[in-house]
Amino acid sequence: MTAAAPTISVVLPARDEGDRVGATVASALGAAAEPDRLEVVVVDDCSAPGGRPVVAAGADRCRTHVIRSDRHLGVGAARNLAARHARGRVLFVTDAHARFSDGWDAEVGRLLAPRRILSVTIRDQESAWRGHGCRLVVPYMGTRWNTSPPDPASTPHVQIVSSAGTVVERELFERLGGYDEGMVHYGGFEPEFSVRAWRSGAEIVHTDAIEIAHRFKPREECASFLGTARTAIVHNCLRFGTAHLPESMILEMVRLHALEFPDHIREALVMLEARGAWRRRAELSASLRYGFDWFVRHFELRDQIGRPVPES
């Protein structure tokens, strides 16, 4: 007898996360109203031998598929790979160090709709801090957390959905093309995915009914990590902006990064050309339903010092 396909696939990339993965899997299954309708797909993104994902024997392991990559994919390509192995109708994209709120899967069933992406609340495991989706910072192409929920009097749209709590029907994820694999390693994947989703005609709706408690790295761990990821982050920001910004903001963005990160800008620009950022812009312009202007108008977006964003 063949087991029924799961309804929800929890997908997560893991690199040197070790037994944190097992705790995340245990939380996802343990907090679910109907764990029998779930699966977890973990992509081991070339972890060192001591850091490979560890999942407890028994039910947790039965419902978990670990896909090993011997090449470092980066978070975007790793999530895409996990999604390709997922069998659920719904993808719950999260991180390897997360805890789920009780009944989260029932809330997914209640709130998700076609062409809708759910943004769930992210809570710091060590404090009372909560993030309710993010908003875009242009032309830097970063994001700022929303630290209060959307106005309950209106549709709770948010600009950017967090990587630790992105819920989307698999069909929509595939139609959008998943995360941009022209980006590398780390940084910028979720805001780019979010802007592309909006421009395609999807919506991102925030909910406080589902909460993911997330382990934030200590400050010194962040500094070490960023030291290794900085060139990739600069490249990804530039690729994101080249794909979506009005032309008149693109060189402004490049100069901003050149001033801020003089040791990384040249290599980032070389990568940008090699990975076809301008071709990507043309493809998106031809295929997406709306221009970036629509996103600007929908959210009354200003630039990072409060000026109007120019028309494309």
Q: Is 310 in the site for other proteins (CB under 8 A)?
A: yes
**49 φ/ψ angles, rounded to the nearest 5 degrees:** -50, -40
Residue 302 in contact with other proteins, rule: CB under 8 A: no
Identify which range of 25-33, 65-73, 123-131, 289-297 contacts other proteins by CB under 8 A: 123-131
Question: 134 to 153, contacts with other proteins by CB under 8 A?
Answer: 134, 137, 139-145, 147
262-271, Cβ contacts within 8 angstroms, sequence gap of 24 or more: 264/230, 264/231, 264/234, 265/234, 267/231, 267/235, 268/231, 268/234, 268/235, 268/238, 269/238, 271/184, 271/231, 271/235
Kindly tell me which of 63 and 239 has the beta carbon lying closer to other proteins: 239
Binding to other proteins, residues 214-253 (CB under 8 A): 214, 216-219, 221-223, 225-226, 233, 236-237, 247-253
Q: Is 120 in the site for other proteins (CB under 8 A)?
A: no
Of the two residues 56 and 223, which places its CB atom closer to other proteins in the complex? 223
- Local structure of 172: helix, strand or coil: helix
Residue 43 in contact with other proteins, rule: CB under 8 A: no
Nearer to other proteins, 41 or 250 (CB): 250
Q: Which helix (H) or strand (E) holds 201?
A: none
Answer yes or no: are the C-beta atoms of 214 and 164 closer than 8 Å: yes
Using the contact rule CB under 8 A, the part of the chain among 30-38, 103-111, 126-134, 170-178 near other proteins is: 126-134
In the beta sheet, which residues pair with residue 39?
9
Residue number, 64 or 162, with CB nearest to other proteins: 162
Tell me: does residue 294 bind other proteins (CB under 8 A). no
Q: Are 158 and 202 in contact (CB under 8 A)?
A: no
Using CB under 8 A as the binding rule, whether residue 255 contacts other proteins is answered as: yes
Q: How far apart are the first and last CA of the chain?
A: 56
Binding-site member from 92, 104, 189, 295 for other proteins (CB under 8 A) = 189
Q: Does 283 sit near other proteins (CB under 8 A)?
A: no
Largest CA distance in the chain: 62
52: closest CA among 64, 43, 40, 63?
A: 43
- From 260, 259, 209, select the one nearest 107 (Cα to Cα): 209
CB of 26 to other proteins, least distance (A): 22
Q: Which residues in 139-149 are b (16+ Cβ under 10 Å) and which e?
A: bbbbbeebeee
Smallest separation (angstroms) from other proteins to the CB of 3: 32
For residue 304, state whether it binds other proteins (rule: CB under 8 A). yes
Position 160 contacts other proteins (CB under 8 A): yes
Q: Mapping DSSP to helix (H, G, I), strand (E, B) and coil, where does residue 106 land?
A: helix
Q: Of 129 and 290, which has the nearer Cβ to other proteins?
A: 129
Task: Determine the Cα–Cα distance for residues 109 and 88; give it in Å rounded to an integer.
Answer: 12
Residue keyed to tokens 């009944």: 103
Q: Does 301 contact other proteins by CB under 8 A?
A: no
Please state the closest distance from residue 109 (CB atom) to other proteins, in A.
Answer: 25
Residues of this chain that bind other proteins (CB under 8 A): 75, 95, 122, 124, 129, 131, 134, 137, 139-145, 147, 160, 162-164, 186-191, 214, 216-219, 221-223, 225-226, 233, 236-237, 247-256, 258-260, 262, 265-266, 269-270, 272-273, 278, 281-282, 303-305, 310
